[in-house]
Amino acid sequence: LLKTQEVPSGHNPDHYVTRRLMAPAADGELVPISLIHHRDTPLDGSAPCLLYGYGSYGITVPAAFNTNLLSLVDRGFVYAIAHVRGGKDKGYGWYDDGKRAHKMNTFTDFIAVAHHLVAERYTQHDRIVAQGGSAGGLLVGAVANMAPECFGGIVAEVPFVDVLTTMLDATLPLTPPEWPEWGNPIASEEDYRTIAAYSPYDNVAALDYPPILALAGLTDPRVT
Protein backbone atom coordinates (compact mmCIF):
# COMPACT_ATOMS: atom_id res chain seq x y z
CA LEU A 1 0.00 0.00 0.00
CA LEU A 2 1.47 3.31 -1.10
CA LYS A 3 0.45 6.63 0.38
CA THR A 4 -0.50 9.03 -2.39
CA GLN A 5 -1.30 12.73 -2.49
CA GLU A 6 -4.00 13.92 -4.84
CA VAL A 7 -3.02 16.68 -7.23
CA PRO A 8 -6.14 18.78 -8.00
CA SER A 9 -4.93 19.57 -11.51
CA GLY A 10 -4.17 15.90 -12.08
CA HIS A 11 -0.93 14.10 -12.87
CA ASN A 12 0.28 10.78 -14.20
CA PRO A 13 2.81 9.10 -11.87
CA ASP A 14 4.10 7.08 -14.81
CA HIS A 15 5.63 10.29 -16.14
CA TYR A 16 8.20 10.42 -13.33
CA VAL A 17 11.28 8.43 -12.42
CA THR A 18 12.59 8.20 -8.86
CA ARG A 19 16.04 7.05 -7.87
CA ARG A 20 18.01 6.38 -4.69
CA LEU A 21 21.71 7.06 -5.23
CA MET A 22 24.76 6.94 -2.98
CA ALA A 23 27.49 9.56 -3.27
CA PRO A 24 30.97 8.74 -1.93
CA ALA A 25 31.99 11.33 0.65
CA ALA A 26 35.53 12.57 1.18
CA ASP A 27 36.06 10.16 4.09
CA GLY A 28 34.53 7.14 2.36
CA GLU A 29 31.01 7.36 3.79
CA LEU A 30 28.13 6.96 1.36
CA VAL A 31 25.68 9.86 1.33
CA PRO A 32 22.12 8.96 0.27
CA ILE A 33 20.44 10.97 -2.48
CA SER A 34 16.72 10.92 -3.22
CA LEU A 35 16.07 12.01 -6.80
CA ILE A 36 13.15 12.53 -9.16
CA HIS A 37 12.92 13.64 -12.77
CA HIS A 38 10.45 13.50 -15.63
CA ARG A 39 10.74 10.39 -17.74
CA ASP A 40 11.45 12.52 -20.81
CA THR A 41 14.24 14.55 -19.21
CA PRO A 42 17.53 13.79 -21.00
CA LEU A 43 20.20 12.42 -18.67
CA ASP A 44 23.14 13.74 -20.64
CA GLY A 45 24.26 16.40 -18.18
CA SER A 46 22.15 19.15 -19.71
CA ALA A 47 19.30 19.17 -17.18
CA PRO A 48 19.10 21.84 -14.48
CA CYS A 49 19.02 20.50 -10.93
CA LEU A 50 17.53 21.81 -7.69
CA LEU A 51 19.55 20.24 -4.87
CA TYR A 52 18.04 20.50 -1.39
CA GLY A 53 19.71 19.87 1.95
CA TYR A 54 19.29 20.49 5.68
CA GLY A 55 21.63 18.44 7.86
CA SER A 56 21.12 19.67 11.43
CA TYR A 57 19.37 18.83 14.72
CA GLY A 58 19.07 15.18 13.78
CA ILE A 59 16.16 15.97 11.46
CA THR A 60 15.56 13.30 8.84
CA VAL A 61 14.44 14.71 5.50
CA PRO A 62 11.73 12.40 4.15
CA ALA A 63 12.20 11.07 0.65
CA ALA A 64 8.80 12.40 -0.36
CA PHE A 65 7.77 14.20 -3.52
CA ASN A 66 6.16 17.56 -2.81
CA THR A 67 3.50 18.26 -5.41
CA ASN A 68 4.62 21.91 -5.38
CA LEU A 69 7.60 20.69 -7.40
CA LEU A 70 5.54 19.21 -10.21
CA SER A 71 5.83 22.29 -12.39
CA LEU A 72 9.59 22.40 -11.96
CA VAL A 73 10.09 18.71 -12.75
CA ASP A 74 7.67 18.88 -15.68
CA ARG A 75 9.86 21.62 -17.18
CA GLY A 76 12.96 19.43 -17.16
CA PHE A 77 14.49 19.93 -13.72
CA VAL A 78 16.08 17.12 -11.77
CA TYR A 79 15.11 17.47 -8.10
CA ALA A 80 17.44 15.90 -5.55
CA ILE A 81 17.61 15.70 -1.77
CA ALA A 82 21.06 15.30 -0.21
CA HIS A 83 20.67 13.33 3.03
CA VAL A 84 23.83 14.76 4.54
CA ARG A 85 25.28 14.11 7.97
CA GLY A 86 23.71 16.15 10.73
CA GLY A 87 20.34 14.50 10.17
CA LYS A 88 19.40 11.00 11.33
CA ASP A 89 18.82 9.69 7.82
CA LYS A 90 21.19 6.77 8.56
CA GLY A 91 20.73 6.66 12.34
CA TYR A 92 22.02 8.54 15.37
CA GLY A 93 25.64 8.13 14.34
CA TRP A 94 24.82 10.02 11.12
CA TYR A 95 23.61 12.91 13.27
CA ASP A 96 26.56 12.78 15.65
CA ASP A 97 29.00 12.85 12.72
CA GLY A 98 27.44 16.11 11.51
CA LYS A 99 27.37 18.28 14.62
CA ARG A 100 29.81 20.27 16.78
CA ALA A 101 33.39 19.18 16.05
CA HIS A 102 32.18 17.13 13.05
CA LYS A 103 29.99 19.82 11.48
CA MET A 104 32.23 20.19 8.46
CA ASN A 105 31.01 16.75 7.31
CA THR A 106 27.60 18.26 6.59
CA PHE A 107 29.09 20.62 4.04
CA THR A 108 31.58 18.25 2.44
CA ASP A 109 28.78 15.67 2.09
CA PHE A 110 26.67 18.18 0.17
CA ILE A 111 29.55 19.05 -2.13
CA ALA A 112 30.18 15.33 -2.69
CA VAL A 113 26.54 14.90 -3.71
CA ALA A 114 26.88 17.73 -6.26
CA HIS A 115 29.99 16.07 -7.71
CA HIS A 116 28.23 12.70 -7.89
CA LEU A 117 25.21 14.09 -9.74
CA VAL A 118 27.56 15.58 -12.31
CA ALA A 119 29.60 12.37 -12.57
CA GLU A 120 26.40 10.39 -13.18
CA ARG A 121 25.40 12.89 -15.90
CA TYR A 122 22.22 14.09 -14.24
CA THR A 123 23.39 17.71 -14.52
CA GLN A 124 26.41 20.02 -14.66
CA HIS A 125 27.85 22.13 -11.86
CA ASP A 126 26.73 25.40 -13.43
CA ARG A 127 23.20 23.95 -13.67
CA ILE A 128 22.88 23.08 -9.96
CA VAL A 129 20.93 25.41 -7.67
CA ALA A 130 21.51 24.61 -3.99
CA GLN A 131 18.51 25.24 -1.73
CA GLY A 132 18.21 25.26 2.05
CA GLY A 133 16.33 27.09 4.77
CA SER A 134 17.21 28.08 8.34
CA ALA A 135 19.99 25.63 9.31
CA GLY A 136 19.78 24.47 5.70
CA GLY A 137 20.54 28.08 4.81
CA LEU A 138 23.72 27.70 6.84
CA LEU A 139 24.50 24.63 4.73
CA VAL A 140 24.12 26.38 1.38
CA GLY A 141 25.92 29.47 2.68
CA ALA A 142 28.86 27.37 3.81
CA VAL A 143 29.16 25.45 0.54
CA ALA A 144 28.94 28.71 -1.41
CA ASN A 145 32.12 29.77 0.40
CA MET A 146 33.81 26.38 0.21
CA ALA A 147 33.04 25.41 -3.40
CA PRO A 148 31.36 28.23 -5.33
CA GLU A 149 32.40 26.61 -8.61
CA CYS A 150 30.13 23.64 -7.86
CA PHE A 151 26.89 25.60 -8.10
CA GLY A 152 25.08 27.76 -10.60
CA GLY A 153 22.93 29.39 -7.95
CA ILE A 154 22.09 29.44 -4.24
CA VAL A 155 18.65 29.82 -2.63
CA ALA A 156 19.02 30.56 1.10
CA GLU A 157 15.71 30.85 2.92
CA VAL A 158 15.89 32.60 6.32
CA PRO A 159 19.48 31.36 6.53
CA PHE A 160 21.44 31.00 9.78
CA VAL A 161 24.69 32.48 8.51
CA ASP A 162 26.21 34.34 11.48
CA VAL A 163 26.76 31.30 13.65
CA LEU A 164 29.83 32.51 15.50
CA THR A 165 28.42 35.86 16.63
CA THR A 166 25.15 34.23 17.66
CA MET A 167 26.81 31.49 19.70
CA LEU A 168 29.02 34.11 21.39
CA ASP A 169 26.02 36.06 22.70
CA ALA A 170 24.64 34.23 25.73
CA THR A 171 21.98 36.92 26.22
CA LEU A 172 20.08 35.72 23.16
CA PRO A 173 17.27 33.41 24.29
CA LEU A 174 18.06 30.71 21.73
CA THR A 175 21.85 30.68 22.15
CA PRO A 176 22.44 28.54 25.29
CA PRO A 177 19.96 25.84 24.14
CA GLU A 178 21.84 25.71 20.81
CA TRP A 179 25.30 25.05 22.29
CA PRO A 180 24.80 21.24 22.30
CA GLU A 181 24.28 21.43 18.53
CA TRP A 182 27.01 23.87 17.49
CA GLY A 183 29.35 24.08 20.46
CA ASN A 184 30.02 26.80 23.02
CA PRO A 185 32.68 29.19 21.67
CA ILE A 186 32.60 31.17 24.91
CA ALA A 187 33.80 28.24 27.00
CA SER A 188 35.81 26.29 24.42
CA GLU A 189 38.57 27.54 22.14
CA GLU A 190 38.17 24.37 20.06
CA ASP A 191 34.48 25.12 19.53
CA TYR A 192 35.35 28.70 18.60
CA ARG A 193 37.83 27.58 15.96
CA THR A 194 35.47 24.93 14.60
CA ILE A 195 32.59 27.37 14.16
CA ALA A 196 34.85 30.10 12.77
CA ALA A 197 36.05 27.69 10.08
CA TYR A 198 32.59 27.31 8.50
CA SER A 199 30.35 30.17 9.71
CA PRO A 200 29.28 31.69 6.36
CA TYR A 201 29.38 35.32 7.47
CA ASP A 202 32.95 34.92 8.72
CA ASN A 203 34.23 33.22 5.58
CA VAL A 204 33.02 35.50 2.82
CA ALA A 205 35.94 36.16 0.49
CA ALA A 206 36.73 37.77 -2.86
CA LEU A 207 35.48 34.77 -4.83
CA ASP A 208 33.49 34.27 -8.01
CA TYR A 209 30.24 33.40 -6.24
CA PRO A 210 27.19 32.05 -8.05
CA PRO A 211 24.03 34.19 -7.92
CA ILE A 212 22.53 34.05 -4.42
CA LEU A 213 18.87 34.57 -3.52
CA ALA A 214 18.61 35.17 0.24
CA LEU A 215 15.12 35.37 1.74
CA ALA A 216 14.37 36.71 5.23
CA GLY A 217 11.23 36.96 7.36
CA LEU A 218 10.21 40.56 8.09
CA THR A 219 8.79 39.66 11.51
CA ASP A 220 11.06 36.70 12.28
CA PRO A 221 12.07 37.07 15.97
CA ARG A 222 15.12 34.88 15.40
CA VAL A 223 16.72 37.31 12.95
CA THR A 224 19.50 39.18 14.76
For the beta carbon of residue 71, count every other beta carbon within 10 angstroms.
10
Q: What is the pLDDT of residues 5-27, one digit of tens each?
A: 777 777 788 999 999 999 999 99
Is a pLDDT exceeding 80 seen at residue 223? no
- Backbone dihedral region of 91: left (phi > 0), alpha (psi from -120 to 50 degrees) or beta? left
pLDDT band of residue 224 (cuts 50, 70, 90) is very low
Q: Is a pLDDT exceeding 90 seen at residue 117?
A: yes
User: Would the pLDDT of 192 be above 80?
Assistant: yes
Whether CATH 3.30.1370.60 fits 13-162+199-215: no
Lowest mean pLDDT among 1-15, 49-63, 155-169: 1-15
What pLDDT is stored for residue 209 in this prediction?
A: 98
How far apart, in Å, are the Cα atoms of 144 and each of 10, 26, 140?
37, 18, 6
Residue 3 has pLDDT above 90, yes or no: no
Domain boundaries, the chain: 13-162+199-215
In the predicted structure, residue 119 carries a pLDDT above the cut 90: yes
Band (57; pLDDT cuts 50, 70, 90): very high
pTM for this prediction: 0.94
> Please, what is the average pLDDT of the chain?
94
At residue 1, the pLDDT reads 56
Q: Supply the pLDDT for residue 70.
A: 87
- H helices then E strands: how many in the chain? 7, 7
Q: Is 134 exposed, middle or buried (0-12, 13-18, 19+ CB in 10 A)?
A: middle
